Amino acid sequence: MKIAVLGTGSVGRALAGRLAEIGHEVAVGTRDPEATLARGGEFADWAAERPGIALAPFAEAAADAELIVNASAGNHSLAVLEAAGAANLDGKVLLDVANEMTPSDGLPLVGANETDSLGERLQRAFPGARVVKTLNTMNGEVMAHPEVVAGGDHTVFVCGEDPEAKRVATALLEQIGHTDVLDLGGIEAARGAELALAFWLRIYLSVGHGRFNFKIAR
């Protein structure tokens, strides 16, 4: 598939790299490719080693893609998808892996609550997109390489309104190496998946690193 990964952070890099590795044609979306490369640092080094992965403005990356991954900063995801352009999202599966959070004196405060979530807001703002919330309950390395935790024996959630979009998402997750894809239902379930960040952060403090994941024993 032609896949656009919107986001140049550690999650965007991990997913774009893995999706290219398993044979997809990947473009990474950013606000301004020249500025992003000129900043140097981790993204520039990563991109230099992967000439097969294109870097394009959000709209250009999305226009060419059959499937889009929202790996942008959650507080700015609405703006990122507006820049990508509603017409470029129409009819396409949009995997939303983002979390909204606000810095605080202690742990960051999670944006989702019991009555709304980022996944729902994105689906409302872009009704033509087929939003599937997934992968946001683990760190970027585990998203892209589930085998690094317990040989891949753990759970990834999907939720969204469109059953076919969830089937496409599930197939892609399985290609990446996820073995237990649990369907939580409609996009409203993104509330739970996003609130899980509050739990994840506390587990992270206790475990001391991000190489862990939830396993739903049943």
Give the interface with ligand NAP as residue ranges (CB under 6 A).
7-12, 30-31, 36, 71-74, 76, 79-80, 97-99, 136, 139-140
- Nearer of residues 9 and 185 to ligand NAP, judged by Cβ: 9
CB of 16 to ligand NAP, least distance (A): 10
Q: How far apart are the first and last CA of the chain?
A: 33
- Nearer of residues 106 and 218 to ligand NAP, judged by Cβ: 106
- Nearer of residues 104 and 218 to ligand NAP, judged by Cβ: 104
Rg (CA), the chain: 16
CB of 140 to ligand NAP, least distance (A): 4
CB of 75 to ligand NAP, least distance (A): 8
The closest residue (CB) to ligand NAP is 9
Measuring CA to CA, which residue among 70, 57, 60 is closest to residue 126? 70
CB of 201 to ligand NAP, least distance (A): 10
Q: What is the DSSP letter of 108?
A: P
CB of 208 to ligand NAP, least distance (A): 15
CB environment 158-197: b (16+ within 10 A), e (fewer): bbbbbeebbebbbebbeebebebbebbeebbbbbbbbbbb
Measuring CA to CA, how many Å separate 30 from each of 7, 13, 57, 73, 150?
A: 6, 12, 5, 11, 33
- Nearer of residues 113 and 163 to ligand NAP, judged by Cβ: 113
Give the angle subtended at the CA of 126 by the CAs of 122 and 129, to the nearest 5°: 100
- Nearer of residues 110 and 165 to ligand NAP, judged by Cβ: 110
| Residue 133 · residue 89 · CB < 8 Å | no
Measuring CA to CA, how many Å separate 120 from each of 49, 127, 168?
A: 36, 10, 19
User: In a 3-state reduction of DSSP, which class is residue 141?
Assistant: helix
- Nearer of residues 8 and 163 to ligand NAP, judged by Cβ: 8
CB of 144 to ligand NAP, least distance (A): 10
